[in-house]
Structure 1
Amino acid sequence: MADTYTQLYVQIVFAVQGRVSLIRSAFEDELYKYITGIIQNRKHKMLAINGMPDHIHIFLGLHPSDSISDLVREIKKASNAFMNERRFSNYPFQWQSGYGAFTYKRSDIDTVVNYVLNQKEHHRKKSFKEEYIEFLKEFEIEYKEQYLFEWYGNTP
């Protein structure tokens, strides 16, 4: 084939180290715009970004010239620096190692965009841990619960 044709829709999910609630509503839009810039500069199409104080969801159209692992590494590295340089937190900001990446078909786009954009409403009913384990089960991904998250304090 002479050209490359792809249709790759991916939801990426990752948490603040220790699941500490460091993403405040006062600056979350700035963080999301910064991450959107990283994604667009790497030729991906941002479809939705949102999260909670302790984690983030990114839904994008993946450009085939980049790998998910390289993209996530760059997002985390650059946004860690962004958060710390701007002193948005009284504590050093860092993302937890690891992430979830889940693929979807074109007909799922509206549903996933709506899901990502309505995170705050969604999490009134379900914890991040419950949500993440549901993703792993839905996508039939084997896991060991003791390795899913690094927890600080008593928050399970």
Structure 2
Amino acid sequence: MANTYHQLYIQTIFGVKCREALIDLDWEDKLHSIIGNLINQASGKSILINGTADHIHCFFHLKPSVNISDIMQKVKSNSSKWINDSKLTPHRFEWQKGFGCFSYGHSQKNQVYQYVKNQKEHHKKYTFREEYMMLLKKFEVDFDEAYIFSDPV
């Protein structure tokens, strides 16, 4: 739409099904690159993709006309297809249902970038579930703990 000006910064977070630690250091950079490209192809603009063995953080620009759920559906389905087609895990790879989504202003861009960049260091102190709960509380998101990402079996 003409004369629409925006600066939307989005961070999404999603986990491996049952939070299994399946994302290997040998191929995680390629996975991050694929996810970034999928976001770009879906009319987003990837800033940084990072994570740990059990979850991913995506930090990107978003146009107001783009549906975040549509982007995440494409990202999750196409990235899991790549993992499975490449036979990178001992069994069929799946992402956990759902995702977290948090919005930021331009003044927070560098802080969020550093947060996503330093995921491995951050998770020496906090589990994925603890981190996710902290973000939900920080952003005052109503949630039911029964539906928060399940623990590994």
Q: Normalized against structure 2, the TM-score is what? A: 0.96
Name the structure 1 match of 2:81: 81
Code of the aligned partner of 1:89: T
Contact 2:46 2:61 survives alignment (8 Å): yes
Structure 2 counterpart SS, 1:65: coil
- Unaligned runs of 5+ residues in structure 2 are none
Counterpart in the other structure of 2:66: 66
Give the 5 Å matches for 1:1-156: 2-153=2-153
Residue pair 2:48, 2:113 contacting (<8 A) in 1 also: yes
Letter in 2 for 1:148: I
Q: Greater CA deviation, 63-72 or 135-144?
A: 63-72
Q: Distance in 2 between matches of 1:151 and 1:92?
A: 18
C-alpha separation in 2, matches of 1:11 and 1:118: 14
Give the CA deviation at 1:4. 1.9
- Name the CA distance, whole Å, in 2 between partners of 1:148 and 1:58: 19
Alpha-carbon distance in 1 for matches of 2:38, 2:79: 9
CA distance in 2, matches of 1:40, 1:73: 14
Question: Counterparts of 2:119 and 2:79 in 1: how far apart (Å)?
Answer: 20
Q: 1:54 Cα shift?
A: 0.5
Q: CA deviation at 1:45?
A: 1.4
Unaligned runs of 5+ in 1: none
TM-score by length of 1: 0.94
C-alpha deviation, 1:129, in angstroms? 1.1
Whether the 8 Å CA contact 2:37–2:46 is kept in 1: the answer is no
How far did 1:2 drift?
A: 3.8
* TM-aligned CA deviation for residue 48 of structure 1: 1.1
Distance 1:2 1:120 in 2: 41
Amino acid at match of 1:7: Q
Q: Report the number of matched residues.
A: 153
Q: Which moved more, 1:56-65 or 1:77-86?
A: 56-65
C-alpha distance in structure 2 between counterparts of 1:119 and 1:105, whole Å: 21
- State the 1:151 CA deviation: 2.7
Report the RMSD for the aligned CA atoms in angstroms.
1.2
Residue 115 of structure 1: how far off its partner (Å):
0.5
**CA-CA distance at 1:70 after TM superposition:** 0.3
Task: Give the Cα–Cα distance (whole angstroms) in 1 for the partners of residues 40 and 54 of structure 2.
Answer: 24
Contact 2:36–2:48 (CA<8 Å) still a contact in 1? no
